[in-house]
Amino acid sequence: MASTTAVGGRGGLASAADRPAMRPRRRFTFAAARSYLGIVIIVVFCLAPFYWMVVTAFRNVGYTFDTTPWPTHITLDNFRTAFSTSLGNHFGRALINSLIIGVCTTILAVAAGCFAAYAIARLDFRGKYLVLGLVLGASMFPGVALLTPLFQLFTNVHWIGGYQALIIPDISFALPLTVYTLTAFFAELPWELEEAAVVDGCTPGQAFRKVLLPLAAPGLFTTAILAFISSWNEFLLASELSNDKTQPVTVAVAQFTGSQPHQEPYTAVMAAGTIVTVPLVIMVLLLQRRIVAGLTAGGVKG
């Protein structure tokens, strides 16, 4: 598996950075060819299904099962169908719902999580590892174990149909995610600056606010994106704890109905899927380095 020539192996491993030391290669070796083949296989594996979704989204509904690998019979009708409410779908409203739920969850999780992450990364206090263990344990917690009691509770207090019934359960996974990702980012900060600020007369609170927070901003932003994505992608809890008015996009797309019963409106679903996915993909591509750093530093959620 790991057969490498001197060229292929050494340079690639030598540097963990994104720009491995390039050296002029004269020979096009067998191993280099194999490496390129591997790259092509991975890229095709990852992108082909996504590509197929986008192609289908733009394809005329009469040609749903056309297998031409490039876009044919291009139309925007599917997007119109996706947003149309005449068939009982409320995709537009669901998009807004997901946005509201995601933003609220993210704000709450980051607001609480950044203090905890600061304490874990920076301070020495009793029970620190217990807290870290609790947070990690919470992140692996099966959502289904929350579902029954919350469903009963929210039904009793008539919260089903309110956004709080969806935001509160989302905290259960967004907050642990926020804490450990931020802890990883905070651990990398140049803490000497904080010491220096205190020596110069700042209180620890001021040092945190005025010196470290600006430095931590990119990490906070990345963490916020990760928390938002986790909430945007949630399905299990939302499918039971929402109603027609509050359902997020994942639930709306999963329950998409077509004009005829038992006939799946594939192209419209693919159009809806494209709308849900493409903003995420663009965001992820723009921030890929930071997101990979955040994921691998505390990578839990798939």
CB of 271 to another protein, least distance (A): 11
214 binds another protein (CB under 8 A): no
Q: CA 165 to CA 153: how far, in whole Å?
A: 10
Instruction: Select from 71-79, 81-89, 123-131, 158-166 the region that touches another protein (CB under 8 A).
Output: 123-131
Contacts (Cβ under 8 Å, ≥6 apart) of 194: 122, 204, 207, 208, 211, 212
- Please pick, from the candidates 110, 116, 160, 216, the single residue that binds another protein as defined by CB under 8 A: 116
96 binds another protein (CB under 8 A): no
- Please pick, from the candidates 3, 86, 260, 263, the single residue that binds another protein as defined by CB under 8 A: 3
Binding mask 160-199 for another protein (x = CB under 8 A): --------xx-xx--xx--xx--xx--xxxxxx-xx--xx
Token pair 């909430």: residue: 231
10 binds another protein (CB under 8 A): yes
CB of 275 to another protein, least distance (A): 10
Q: Which of residues 42-61 bind another protein (CB under 8 A)?
A: 42-43, 45-47, 49-50, 52-53, 56
Q: CA 176 to CA 150: how far, in whole Å?
A: 19
Minimum CB distance to another protein smaller for 58 or for 256? 256
CB 31 within 8 A of CB 4: yes
CB of 128 to another protein, least distance (A): 7
Contacts (Cβ under 8 Å, ≥6 apart) of 118: 182, 186, 208
Number of residues this chain uses to bind another protein (CB under 8 A): 133
Instruction: Select from 37-45, 76-84, 87-95, 157-165 the region that touches another protein (CB under 8 A).
Output: 37-45
Contacts (Cβ under 8 Å, ≥6 apart) of 223: 110, 113, 177, 178, 181, 182, 185, 294
Length of the chain: 302
19: three-class secondary structure by DSSP: coil
**Closest listed residue to residue 249, CA positions, set 264, 269, 223, 224:** 269
90 binds another protein (CB under 8 A): no
Q: Which of residues 135-154 bind another protein (CB under 8 A)?
A: 135-138, 140-153
Look up residue 75 and give its amino acid. T
Q: CA 88 to CA 84: how far, in whole Å?
A: 8
Contacts (Cβ under 8 Å, ≥6 apart) of 125: 119
300 binds another protein (CB under 8 A): yes
Minimum CB distance to another protein smaller for 75 or for 301? 301
Cα torsion angle, 92, 93, 94, 97, sign:
positive
Instruction: Select from 33-41, 76-84, 86-94, 157-165 the region that touches another protein (CB under 8 A).
Output: 33-41
Instruction: Select from 7-15, 72-80, 88-96, 157-165 the region that touches another protein (CB under 8 A).
Output: 7-15
